[in-house]
Chains A and B, each alone.
Chain A
Amino acid sequence: MHLALIYKALIAILLIALATPWAHADDGLLPVPALTGPVIDQTGTLSASDKAALETQLQTLEQTRGAQVVVLMVPTTAPEDIASFANRVGNTWKIGRRDVGDGVLVIVAKNDRKMRIEVAKALEGAIPDIAAARIIDGAMKPRFQQSDYAGGLRDAVIQLSARIAGEALPAPASSGNAAHSPDTSRDGFDWTDLAVFLFFGVMVAGPLARSIFGSRLGGLLMGGGVGLLAFVVTSSLIVAGGAGLLALLYTWIFGGTGGGSSRRRGRGGAAVGGWGAGVGGGGWSGGGSSSDSGGFSSGGGGDFGGGGASGDW
């Protein structure tokens, strides 16, 4: 009886586990391609030299103006229409500098015979929808009709660059790589959270450390531990040093009055210490964001709100 129940439960769990990935795969949307460079051609239309020329064009734009323009060619965007696919890709890549968000995505769906210029919110003033439509109608459409994809894209990028040049954007960082390297330490990290956590952590753990290791060693350990934690999380030596010093002083000065009463180093104390560290580490390791690697990387600031224009040929 009991066995049968357990059996049923196991089968149910197995079914659920099996069903979950299916449900994910079933939405049938085209996966967002990996951002490998400023020009991504999944159709194999552009010749190597055309692609290189286009890439130089886009890299020059990024170095002189800071704005990131990415050209993506896909065979088809089905089952989505090109506008929602472009928006999804744009918001996944988040091209554009982190603090500016100046990104433009040029998408060509070759077999659908459709193209779209998707403009991030920061550039909607420089490239309004009507301007994007004019670029599509004037530069891309006639050349695409003659199967001159490289020429159409080149002219489109020239016109886009001219429009971006007319916008007063912040100058790009002097060293070309500064804008590129995603700043992981500051990204998605909340200073106040750390401060609150350490504040309470020191208040709680300080007296305990004193009672286990004695006032001097406990204080040193506490300060060292907090400093180490702060350094791991913020990767800033100054912040870590400050936090460690504060924790050390707090434990020494305010660490409770009964510090000297119990100096036993019990197994329980060590176990609790280990558990506390585990909680601390586990809690904070999730806070860091994963950085995308690769030669070309997105600035991570582009927010695409549906601006831009679509066209066909």
Chain B
Amino acid sequence: MIQRIFALLTALLALSALTGCGYNDFQRLDEQSKAAWSEVLNQYQRRADLVPNIVATVKGEANFEQETLTRVVEARAKATSIQVTPETLNNPEAFNKFQQAQGELSGALSRLMVVSERYPTLQANQGFRDLRVTLEGTENRITVARNRYIQTVQEYNVLARSFPTNLTAIAFSYAPKPSFTVANEAQISAPPTVDFSASKPKP
């Protein structure tokens, strides 16, 4: 009788150990993070596809700041030149490079949008306004997609590092995945310098 109870206990323990080792959770979260990452890439691609249209519209504006425009074009070329494969996720260096390039494009585009405020004819152009809305929506979608990726990766990494599931992670060599960080942390923590004398509205 007692032996039977012990056998039952061991069986239940073995069962709970099987479900507790988190192997299935690893598979689920791995796929989830891949899907979330694909969505991030998808939205970045959408933005990259949008840039030529914006540049073409802005070029139509006479004497638009050339420097801002070239910077956007260069940043886009750089961002799209980086090949992203699923392995990028497991390679923190490539991941950082990709993130930096996309960050540069973000910066160049927001600068372009700020500069465009100075051109009333551009602001009145319905095509440009539509593009602007689309770009805004795309940036929002990028933010949401990045957030979801960060959350999934966090869940995955907690599983990969906490006991006892970390034993499963070691056994199957599941390394923690890289997450997004703020690229220009130093810039953000420094207070902005506001200089109104320099930016006079152009006619």
Q: Which residues of A contact B (CB under 8 A)?
A: 83-84, 87, 129-130, 132-133, 200, 204-205, 207-208, 211, 262, 264, 266, 268-269, 272, 276, 279, 304-310
Contact = CB atoms under 8 A, between A and B. Distances in A.
B4 A208 contact: yes
Nearest to A307: B137
Contacts of B12: 204, 276, 279
Given A264-B1, A268-B1, A205 B8 contact: yes
A83 B133 CA distance: 13
A309 B4 CA distance: 66
A276 to B, nearest CB: 7
Contacts of B9: 272
B136 interface: yes
Interface of B: 1-2, 4-5, 8-9, 11-12, 15, 39, 129-130, 133-134, 136-137, 140-145
Instruction: Point out which of B2, B12, B129 has the most chain A C-beta atoms below 10 A from its C-beta.
Output: B12
A154 to B, nearest CB: 23
Contacts of B130: 130, 133
A156 B23 CA distance: 49
A272 B5 contact: yes
Contacts of A262: 1, 4
Mostly, the B contact residues are helix
B35 to A, nearest CB: 13
A26 to B, nearest CB: 19
Contacts of A211: 1, 4
B144 to A, nearest CB: 4
A254 to B, nearest CB: 16
Give 10 nearest A-B pairs by CB, closest first. Answer: A129-B137, A306-B140, A306-B144, A306-B141, A133-B133, A204-B11, A130-B130, A129-B133, A83-B140, A272-B5
A309 B137 contact: yes
5 contacts: A204-B12, A208-B8, A211-B4, A272-B8, A309-B133
A200 B140 contact: no
A253 B1 CA distance: 21
B134 A269 contact: no
B143 A84 contact: yes
Contacts of B5: 208, 268-269, 272
Contacts of A307: 137, 140-141
B145 A309 contact: no
Contacts of A305: 39, 141, 144-145
A275 B4 CA distance: 15
A307 B130 CA distance: 14
A272 B4 CA distance: 11
Contacts of B142: 306
Nearest to A308: B137
Given A130-B134, A276-B12, A269 B140 contact: no
Nearest to A266: B1
A269 B8 CA distance: 11
A130 B5 CA distance: 68
